[in-house]
Amino acid sequence: VAPVLLRTSVNDFTEEPVSDEVVDGLLRAAMSGPTTGDQRPWHFVVIRDQAVRNKVPEIHRFAHLVPRAPVALLVCGDETLQRDRGFWVQDCAAATENILLEAERRGLGAIWLGIYPIEGLVQAFRRLINVPQHAVPFSLVALGYPVERGRTVSQYDGSRVHIDIWRDKGASTCQE
């Protein structure tokens, strides 16, 4: 089964460290994502420092797992690197998803923690990580080797697929 079909959010990590080489592979995957006009308006902060990771749950209410994740990647958008204003959000989302898929392919587990557009979170991560005003913390991806893993049930929903013209087919759950 393709790694993309097995991906799930992981929030329990083993103590096995994540090597610099693996992190480099994740960053290369992130920067392989499509971007508006090929403008690549992102920056990435590799967060390994335990003291910094310990502070994340104080500012993000769903981030209790970050102190136990060996590494976290902060994806930031930079509007000064972009002509097509506003599209950085989609570019950063594509980069974030690429990190998740490459993590899955490498046997890692990951979870996407949303930051942007919650202004309080954006400001709190700016302060914690010293992100300059022209950049916007977008997402934090916590990573490590998973204790448990793998999707077993398909999320495919045929009622959300329309061919040529939108027809309301009513709800159905996860049918291939």
Ligand X SMILES: Cc1cc2nc3c(=O)[nH]c(=O)nc-3n(C[C@H](O)[C@H](O)[C@H](O)COP(=O)(O)O)c2cc1C
Minimum CB distance to ligand X, residue 107 (Å): 16
Minimum CB distance to ligand X, residue 110 (Å): 9
Where on the chain is the footprint of ligand X (CB under 6 A)?
A: 8-9, 62, 111-114
Nearer to ligand X, 24 or 114 (CB): 114
Nearest CA to 121 among 67, 56, 73, 77?
56
Minimum CB distance to ligand X, residue 165 (Å): 29
Minimum CB distance to ligand X, residue 116 (Å): 9
Taking each helix axis from N to C end, the angle separating 50-59 and 119-129, rounded to the nearest 10 degrees, works out to 160
Residues in the chain: 176
Nearer to ligand X, 24 or 120 (CB): 120
| Sheet bearing 135-144, strands edge to edge | 42-47, 71-78, 135-144, 109-114
Nearer to ligand X, 47 or 111 (CB): 111
Q: Rounded CA gap, 30 and 97, in Å?
A: 8
In contact, 105 and 139? CB cutoff 8 Å = no
Nearer to ligand X, 23 or 92 (CB): 92
